[in-house]
A and B are shown apart, each in its own frame.
Chain A
Amino acid sequence: MPLTVANIMKPQRDVSPAIALEVSIPSNAAEARRIQDEIEQVLIARQINDRDIFSIKLALEEALVNAIKHGNQMDHLKKIRIAYQLFPDRFEIQITDDGPGFDPGDVPDPTAFENLERPCGRGLMLMRHYMNEVAYNDLGNTVTMSKLFRANPNPSPNGKK
Chain B
Amino acid sequence: MSSQPRRRRLEVEQIGDVTVVNFVDRKILDDQNIQIIGDQLFGLVENEGFRKLLLNFGNVEYLSSAALGKLITLNKKLHTAGGRLILCNIDPQILEVFEITKLDKVFNIQKEEQAALQAF
**Docked-complex contact B73 and A119, CB < 8 angstroms:** yes
Q: Counting CB contacts under 8 A, is B9 at the interface?
A: no
| Smallest beta-carbon distance A112→chain B, Å | 9
Q: Counting CB contacts under 8 A, is B7 at the interface?
A: no
> Among the listed stretches B12-20, B44-52, B63-71, B81-89, which one makes contact with chain A, having 4 or more residues with CB under 8 Å of it?
B63-71
**Docked-complex contact A122 and B65, CB < 8 angstroms:** yes
Dominant SS at the A interface?
helix
Q: Which residue of A lies closest to B97 (CB)?
A: A126
* A86-123, CB < 8 A from B: 110-111, 116-120, 122-123
Distance A57 CA – B63 CA, assembled complex (angstroms): 10
**Docked-complex contact A125 and B76, CB < 8 angstroms:** no
A126-B65 contact, Cβ under 8 Å, with A65-B31, A111-B101: yes
> Interface residues of A toward B: which range?
20 to 34
* A18-70, CB < 8 A from B: 28-30, 33, 51, 54, 57-58, 61-62, 65, 69
Which of A30, A122, A125 gathers the greatest number of chain B CB atoms within 10 Å? A122
* A119: chain B residues within 8 A (beta carbon): 68-70, 72-73
* A57: chain B residues within 8 A (beta carbon): 62
Contact with B along A115-156 (1 / 0, CB 8 A): 011111011011001000000000000000000000000000
